[in-house]
Amino acid sequence: MTLDDYNAFCASLPATSHVVQWGGAHVWKVGSKVFAIGGWSETSSLPFVTFKCSDIAFDILKDQPGCRPAPYLASRGMKWIQRVTAETMDDEALKDYLRDSHRLAGRNLTKRERKELGLD
Q: What is the pLDDT along the chain (120 residues), one digit of tens a residue?
A: 888 999 999 999 999 999 999 888 999 999 999 999 998 766 666 789 999 999 999 999 999 999 999 988 877 888 999 999 988 899 999 999 999 999 999 999 999 999 999 987
Q: Are the CB atoms for 85 and 65 separated by under 8 Å?
A: yes
Quote the pTM value. Answer: 0.92
Asked if residue 38 lies in contact with residue 3, where contact means CB atoms within 8 angstroms, the answer is yes
Cα 103 to Cα 2, 14, 51, 64, 83: the distances in Å are 23, 10, 11, 23, 19
